[in-house]
Amino acid sequence: MVNPGNTTTSLTSTPNPSNFGQTVTLSATVNARSPRDRRAHRTVTFRDGATALATVNLRQWQRLVQLATLTSGSHSLTAGLQRQRELRR
């Protein structure tokens, strides 16, 4: 089994802050402690609170998403890994 605690995901948004209607680029970078952990995760989901904005395949453990659909105001943006399969010994 893969230990989800063996990975970390960081998220940045550019520009920050942004103006209404402006395209925002979200960048998720994933760090995994072992090759076994890297193989288990292949997608990342970007969220605004509980709302999924995009789920994308990871490439080189980093992924960018461009959004022009954010409403005005504050947002609670997150990025999280989606496990595609469990690895067994």
Domains and CATH numbers, the chain: 4-83 (2.60.40)
Task: Please report the pLDDT score of residue 33 as a whole number.
Answer: 73
pLDDT less than 70: residues of the chain:
1-5, 34-41, 60, 83-89
Task: Please report the pLDDT score of residue 26 as a whole number.
Answer: 94
Task: Please report the pLDDT score of residue 15 as a whole number.
Answer: 93
Task: Please report the pLDDT score of residue 80 as a whole number.
Answer: 85
Task: Please report the pLDDT score of residue 23 as a whole number.
Answer: 93
Task: Please report the pLDDT score of residue 64 as a whole number.
Answer: 84
Quick one: CA torsion of 2, 89, 84, 45, rounded to 10 degrees? Answer: 20
- HSE value, Cβ hemisphere, 13 Å, CA-based, for 32: 19
Task: Please report the pLDDT score of residue 51 as a whole number.
Answer: 94
**DSSP element (H, E) containing 64:** strand 62-67
Q: What angle do CA 31, 75, 65 make, to 5 degrees?
A: 50
